[in-house]
Structure 1
Amino acid sequence: MSRFSSRRRIETGIRQADTILDGGLLPSSATLLRGSPGTGKTIFGLHFLAAGVRSEDQGLYINLGEPTAYLRDTAESFGLDIGPVDFLTLSPTGEEFRADQTYDLFQSGETENPSLVENIRDEVETLAPDRVVIDPITELRYITMDEHQFRTQVLALLDFLKGQGATVLLTSQAADSVPDDDLQFLVDTVISLDHNQRRRTLDVSKFRGSSAQRGPHTVTITDDGMRVWPRLVPDDHEREFSLEKLSSGVPELDSLLRGGLTTGTVTFLSGPTGVGKTTTSLQFMKEAAGRGQRSVLYSFEESRSTMLERAEAVNIPVKEMIERGTLHIEEISPDALTIDEFTHYLRQEVEDRGSEIIMIDGVSGYERALRGTGGDATQHLIKIGRYLRNMGVTGVVTNEVHQITGEFRATEQQMSHLADNIVVLRHVEYRGELRKVIGVLKMRTSDYENWLRELQITEHGLTVGEPMSDLRGILTGTPTWTDDE
């Protein structure tokens, strides 16, 4: 827990944003919310004020951009209650700027027209708001005489608002042509919103007096409003656990693994299509279910219905396991989730539902589904592995190699270093018959059997034969008997 966590916080009203901010914004502070048009700054501000309504805080929206009616309609479309919030409209099209009024920020000795600052001061002194949004503060830059006057008066305005006990949120139309570095120096907190073709992000670059989770973090905007999906930082998650062996329930397979898979390790099952990687993985889950343990399978390459049908055909009762809550299968299609969304749901399974086995079925499908949604998918797989190890969860990953026979490869994505254990499955042809073999290439936490064994998958289930000690060249795909002569 952070040393700042005990300090009182002001909720942003955005799901998971307060998690990133170590509980929320600090009271009587000023936050700069920066980003290009369309990144969600106004929606963020509406969430912030709606959260104040729920906590019975007085809210004030100082509007220098969109009309008040538009803002209220926007809030309503997202289901945000801002009814009690007061609006001070100071945009050129607002009531404050009729033809007989000037659009000056400050009252000078040469004019008697009211200034923006006086309007704001009068409204704040009348309402005594707890939360203030100024959207966008950068509009004031265009109506000041120079940059020095702009900075001086913004600082004075912030000091006044904070002195009145208000927590202030300023929005900035950040762009290369209009830098806002000066504003970043004036505030206590800087939150940046960004948006590319596939992903919105939020990053906290400054948080005076508090800690914040490192970003960038994924942001989504739906009919329910804005939500933040915190980036997975494995080192922030750890718990004590005891090392145990996870049996497959097949004695010969357990013999290969010297008792089974060790909890808190990540195992790659590598082989070509149709060799039995998913079925072998489900065998471990079937055995775990018998002990009341929960497993989760994330399928990136096969439909849930097909998997259920195939598993039932080989005597793995996945439907019964699902009904009992010892197995959950989640089919994930391309572009359905960002990496941060996926790791959030994975963490929920581990931390909230107590899942003890996490399976990622299909590395290639995983990469295709999550490519471009928040960094390199392979690097995130490394983070997922570290997280599972820290939490004592057994990870299982199926990895397809495209050569059915021929030159042996453990993986084609050069991922073998990510795994604690590598179990290889191969098709082999002998005397015109296609067979399957299984063996262990690597185990970090224990010894393992060096032999290859024949693997059979029938309607009665998975069986593993005796060591194939009389065959040579199995990994080439075309083995020979030692007694052929």
Structure 2
Amino acid sequence: MDTPQEALNPPPVATGIAGLDTVLEGGLTANRLYLLEGLPGAGKTTMALQFLREGVERGESVLYVTLSETEAELREVAASHGWTLDGVHINELFPMGDQLDPDEQYTMFHPSEVELGKVTLAILAEFERLKPQRVVFDSLSEIRLLAGSLLRFRRQILALKQYFAGRNATVLLLDESHQLEQGLNAHTIVHGVVSLDQLRPEFGGDRRRLRVMKMRGRPFHSGFHDYEILTGGVVVFPRLVAADHRREPEVGTLHSGLDALDALLGGGIDRGTSTLLLGAAGTGKSTLAMHFVMQAAEQGERSAVFLFEESVHAMRKRSSGLGLDLDARIDDGTVMIQSVDPSELSPGEFFHIVREAVEQKQARIVVIDSLNGYLNAMPGERFLVTQLHELLSYLGQMGVSSFLLNAQQGMIGSMSSTLDVSYLADTVVLLRYFEANATVRTAISVMKRRTGAHERTLREMVIGNTGIEIGEPLRNFRGVLTGVPQDVADPPAAAGAVFTGSLGA
């Protein structure tokens, strides 16, 4: 007789942890033994309670076996998240007798010869009484100590695995970090392992991330995934993989509303491309990006602006002084502005916020202001440029136009950047201060455009109470990019040439 497909491939068991089911591509394989490990404070207990509460929501019988925390402590953890543990059966096996009473202490036998058997019988008796579909053991470290030896501990885990096999229970074992020598032995026994890791930067809050070390018989997203312990539970931010979001490329051009600027860009910004606005502080990078945002809002398109340095209040006030009615666009929902706390951010959480703006709120433009703040927000993180490349690839495949603002070091003359991402951007716009006639002026030029021809002249840019104005090409100056140009009485005819090919990809 053929075995039903449901029996061979039962539906996955949802963990109840936002984002983790995405990492596990649906959840855990039912009726298997799993290990959740991590250092104290990593969130193991919180995640275990979310796992059991999900079972209660689905009408399942659930059991929490605790050998290290009291029931009162577990209920305090739940209350801190605004939960109740109604429906969660707690089997408290701590403490084992009165260990402070000399008459209760063992003299002839090692505790492992007495207590481990008592604990095991108590656990199995409670399981037979409730017959739960979900079980949590907190924690393996206590069983390891009770076992007394590595061999006895391993055999105890094997015995638990064999006991639960065929009893329709999904079991979650909590343990300390896998770096402990004895902890590695449980890895070979269980069906899957989720490891929790903590980073402690010199400044700011702790960064937490998890990794699925092993998962038999089902696909999962490998690598590290950031997570946070918030009021309401653990939230996992799956690692962004741009290849998972491929779409047909969107055709069209994004305009700034300034004819001279669009001409400088060869007609405008191609949709789904990234633009790097590069220049010293105060040259007008944010204002330039906001012109594209406001013009898109005029067409009913939404934009998401992420501020790493400037506050939303300051942005609104400055835009109002430039004649840009940003307040109205924020009120009607076409422009979404969010300040990012640079000391409390992980790359995964930021990418999650961007994805929500794109996928749920339908943003067609994303502005990151600025990359300097992005870099400073995560000074201890490695591979930030690689992660940024993945983000830009994702936005491009979603048909979203992105603007990256990068403030160069210095004001006039020799300039440098702490984060060189010019090779990632499809278009690079350079803003520079220069001195002329005893005044400090600003020049704008397009240094690169992958997707077509662009104007290669240097033009003056003026920021006034009506926004940005782009002047004629600076044909009477030589050496504008040095900051101190020289007057040229009779400029050569070729100096005004425009709309030549791109400088390269």
Residues 164 and 95 of structure 1: CA distance in aligned 2, closer, same or farther (over 3 Å): farther
Aligned to 1:396: 403
Residues 145 and 430 of structure 1: CA distance in aligned 2, closer, same or farther (over 3 Å): closer
Matched residues in 2 for 1:359 and 1:462: separation? Answer: 18
Residues 479 and 100 of structure 1: CA distance in aligned 2, closer, same or farther (over 3 Å): closer
Aligned to 2:332: 324
Q: Note if contact 2:227-2:349 (Cα within 8 Å) is conserved in structure 1.
A: no
Aligned with 1:439 (options 438, 445, 457): 445
Aligned with 1:383 (options 381, 386, 390): 390
Aligned with 2:75 (options 72, 77, 90): 72
Q: Note if contact 1:34-1:174 (Cα within 8 Å) is conserved in structure 2.
A: yes
Aligned with 1:270 (options 278, 296, 302): 278
Report the alpha carbon displacement of residue 265 of structure 1 after superposing the two structures with TM. Answer: 1.1
Report the alpha carbon displacement of residue 269 of structure 1 after superposing the two structures with TM. Answer: 0.8
Aligned to 2:203: none
Structure 1, 116-125 or 179-188: larger mean CA deviation: 116-125
Aligned to 1:368: 376
Matched residues in 2 for 1:272 and 1:433: separation? Answer: 17
Q: Which amino acid aligns with 1:360?
A: I
Aligned to 1:475: 481
Residues 460 and 74 of structure 1: CA distance in aligned 2, closer, same or farther (over 3 Å): closer
1:397-446 Cα shifts (integer Å, max 9, x gaps)? 1111133221355x442222121111011111112122211110011111
Aligned with 1:453 (options 456, 459, 463): 459
Aligned to 2:127: 124
1:258-298 Cα shifts (integer Å, max 9, x gaps)? 11011111111111122111111111111111111111111
Residues 238 and 175 of structure 1: CA distance in aligned 2, closer, same or farther (over 3 Å): closer
CA RMSD of aligned residues (A): 2.5
Matched residues in 2 for 1:406 and 1:119: separation? Answer: 77
Q: Note if contact 1:89-1:96 (Cα within 8 Å) is conserved in structure 2.
A: no
Identity percentage of aligned residues:
36
Matched residues in 2 for 1:300 and 1:249: separation? Answer: 26
Matched residues in 1 for 2:210 and 2:65: separation? Answer: 23
Instruction: Indicate yes or no: 2:62 matched with 1:54.
Output: no
1:442-483 Cα shifts (integer Å, max 9, x gaps)? 111111111111111111221112222332111111222321
Report the alpha carbon displacement of residue 177 of structure 1 after superposing the two structures with TM. Answer: 4.5
Aligned with 1:282 (options 276, 280, 290): 290
Aligned to 2:138: 135
Aligned to 1:17: 20
Q: Note if contact 1:238-1:391 (Cα within 8 Å) is conserved in structure 2.
A: yes
Matched residues in 2 for 1:161 and 1:313: separation? Answer: 69
Matched residues in 2 for 1:211 and 1:432: separation? Answer: 66
Report the alpha carbon displacement of residue 387 of structure 1 after superposing the two structures with TM. Answer: 1.6
Matched residues in 2 for 1:72 and 1:319: separation? Answer: 45
Matched residues in 2 for 1:394 and 1:145: separation? Answer: 61
Matched residues in 2 for 1:96 and 1:159: separation? Answer: 32
Q: Which amino acid aligns with 1:421?
A: T
Structure 1, 131-140 or 379-388: larger mean CA deviation: 379-388
Aligned to 1:3: none
Residues 87 and 302 of structure 1: CA distance in aligned 2, closer, same or farther (over 3 Å): closer
- Listed as ranges, the gaps of 5+ residues in structure 1 are 1-5
> SS state of the match for residue 356, structure 1?
strand
Report the alpha carbon displacement of residue 145 of structure 1 after superposing the two structures with TM. Answer: 5.6
> SS state of the match for residue 12, structure 1?
coil
- Listed as ranges, the gaps of 5+ residues in structure 2 are 1-8, 201-205, 492-505
Q: Which amino acid aligns with 2:351?
A: T
Matched residues in 2 for 1:292 and 1:103: separation? Answer: 75
Q: Which amino acid aligns with 1:420?
A: D
Matched residues in 2 for 1:406 and 1:358: separation? Answer: 31
> SS state of the match for residue 270, structure 1?
strand
Report the alpha carbon displacement of residue 70 of structure 1 after superposing the two structures with TM. Answer: 1.9
Matched residues in 2 for 1:457 and 1:222: separation? Answer: 43
Residues 352 and 227 of structure 1: CA distance in aligned 2, closer, same or farther (over 3 Å): same
> SS state of the match for residue 236, structure 1?
helix
Q: Which amino acid aligns with 1:265?
A: T
Structure 1, 68-77 or 346-355: larger mean CA deviation: 68-77
Matched residues in 2 for 1:231 and 1:477: separation? Answer: 43
Aligned to 2:228: 220
Q: Note if contact 1:202-1:219 (Cα within 8 Å) is conserved in structure 2.
A: yes
Q: Which amino acid aligns with 1:329?
A: I
Structure 1, 344-353 or 168-177: larger mean CA deviation: 168-177
Matched residues in 1 for 2:46 and 2:415: separation? Answer: 54
Instruction: Indicate yes or no: 2:462 matched with 1:466.
Output: no
Aligned to 2:425: 419
Aligned with 2:85 (options 82, 87, 93): 82
